[in-house]
């Protein structure tokens, strides 16, 4: 599995985890946004210390920062908004 695919999957899972945390603790506004930003930043620590990835594993710095951003946002914001609106109308 390529490093880019690992990052893509990692950030997708962290996005889903972020939405679960936001729904479970009924977070809205700045608190929910803070959870998402923290989890995205936490992905860098996981990449470095757990997955043992180095900058040389990627084509450039933009791949490190932006790869996996779309699935992270999609799996975080969409379930958070949809489930929150159904659970707490």
Stretches in the chain below the pLDDT threshold 50: none
Domain count along the chain: 1
- Its domain, for residue 49, covers 3-87
- What share of residues in the chain are helix, strand, coil (percent, to 5)? 80, 0, 20
pTM attached to this predicted model: 0.90
Question: What is residue 76's predicted lDDT score, i.e. its pLDDT?
Answer: 96
Render 11-79 in DSSP notation, one character per residue: HHHHHHHHHHHHHHTT--HHHHHHHHHHHHHHHHHIIIIIS---GGGSSSHHHHHHTTHHHHHHHHHHH
């Amino acid at each position: 599995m390529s490093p880019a695919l690992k990052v893509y999957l990692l950030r997708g899972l962290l996005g889903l985890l972020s939405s679960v945390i936001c729904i479970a603790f009924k977070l809205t506004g700045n608190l929910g946004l803070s959870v998402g930003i923290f989890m995205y930043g936490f992905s860098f620590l996981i990449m470095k210390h757990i997955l043992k990835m180095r900058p040389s594993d990627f084509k450039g710095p933009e791949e490190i920062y932006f790869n996996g951003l779309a699935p992270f946002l999609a799996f975080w914001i969409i379930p958070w908004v949809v489930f929150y609106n159904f659970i707490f109308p």
